[in-house]
Amino acid sequence: QKEVEQDPGPLSVPEGAIVSLNCTYSNSAFQYFMWYRQYSRKGPELLMYTYSSGNKEDGRFTAQVDKSSKYISLFIRDSQPSDSATYLCAMNEAGGTSYGKLTFGQGTILTVHP
């Protein structure tokens, strides 16, 4: 079983749609949860991060973490063509021997068409 599972898609939605991206994980020690966005021919850039369970909102983006279900989500409201990219979830334990070691999902390819 992979430590982090992410549906690779591809996901294609019309402009203005609400997009839901999800990851599940198996390591209960993960405490920090991140979403990265990667445009074609670029490196990943951090979009949002959360610590432990709960919600975090930033503009059109909302990140949710449900540690009891080992499930994280990223919601994009009013999606735009400029949101077309690959979205990667990543997570990390707090301290210990995995210091600095992010575990990534496979990435979901999202296309928002006008």
Partner 1 sequence: ETGVTQTPRHLVMGMTNKKSLKCEQHLGHNAMYWYKQSAKKPLELMFVYNFKEQTENNSVPSRFSPECPNSSHLFLHLHTLQPEDSALYLCASSQGGGWETQYFGPGTRLLVL
Q: Which is closer to partner 1, CB of 65 or CB of 79?
A: 65
Minimum distance from residue 1 beta carbon to partner 1 (Å): 13
When asked if residue 14 is in the footprint of partner 1 (CB under 8 A), the reply is: no
Binding residues among 55-94 for partner 1 as defined by CB under 8 A:
88, 90, 92, 94
For 8-60, list the strands marked E by DSSP: 11-14, 19-25, 30-38, 45-51, 54-58
Minimum distance from residue 12 beta carbon to partner 1 (Å): 18
Q: Which is closer to partner 1, CB of 8 or CB of 16?
A: 8
The span from the CA of 102 to the CA of 60, in Å, is 25
Q: How many residues at the interface with partner 1, by CB under 8 A?
A: 28
Residue 46, judged by CB atoms within 10 A of its CB (0-12, 13-18, 19+), counts as exposed
